[in-house]
């Protein structure tokens, strides 16, 4: 069974631009969560989508948004990029939502903002 895939793996953007990251969950998984990992702040939960609806949200500004499609694939968008948005963005999928279900992580997208 294929794992969680994230595209692109690496991305360089300029301050003020916007970016869209993509995540394809494991087949059959309906929940997709997004995380930001930086040396300064560590790992932080961004949001979770389940059945095309945002179910949970972390403490991030509105510049960070996401969506989920009917095939459970998810995209994350960051508008008006700031230097501090440089990070590894991780996506994780699970069968359904909730802490009883193991999350499987993708390898991440490394975003660099210059």
> Could you list the residues that contact other proteins (CB under 8 A)?
4, 33, 42-45, 48, 55-56, 58, 90, 92, 97-100, 102-103, 105-108
We find the least distance from the C-beta atom of residue 80 to other proteins, in angstroms, to be 25
Quickly list DSSP for 4-65.
-EEE-SEEEE-TT--EEEEEEPPTT--EEEEEEEETTTEEEEEEEEETTEEEEE-S--TTEE
We find the least distance from the C-beta atom of residue 110 to other proteins, in angstroms, to be 9
Q: Are strands 64-68 and 74-78 parallel, antiparallel or unpaired?
A: antiparallel
Nearer to other proteins, 45 or 73 (CB): 45
Nearer to other proteins, 56 or 80 (CB): 56
């Amino acid at each position: 069974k294929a794992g969680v895939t994230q595209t692109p793996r690496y991305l360089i953007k300029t301050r003020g631009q916007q970016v869209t990251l993509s995540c394809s969950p494991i087949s059959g998984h309906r929940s997709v969560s997004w995380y930001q990992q930086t040396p300064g702040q560590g790992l932080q939960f961004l949001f979770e989508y389940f059945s095309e609806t945002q179910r949970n949200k972390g403490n991030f500004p509105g510049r960070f948004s996401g969506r989920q499609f009917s095939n459970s694939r998810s995209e994350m968008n960051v508008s008006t990029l700031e230097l501090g948005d440089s990070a590894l963005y991780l996506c994780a999928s699970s069968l359904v939502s909730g802490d009883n279900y193991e999350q499987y992580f993708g390898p991440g997208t490394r975003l660099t903002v210059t």
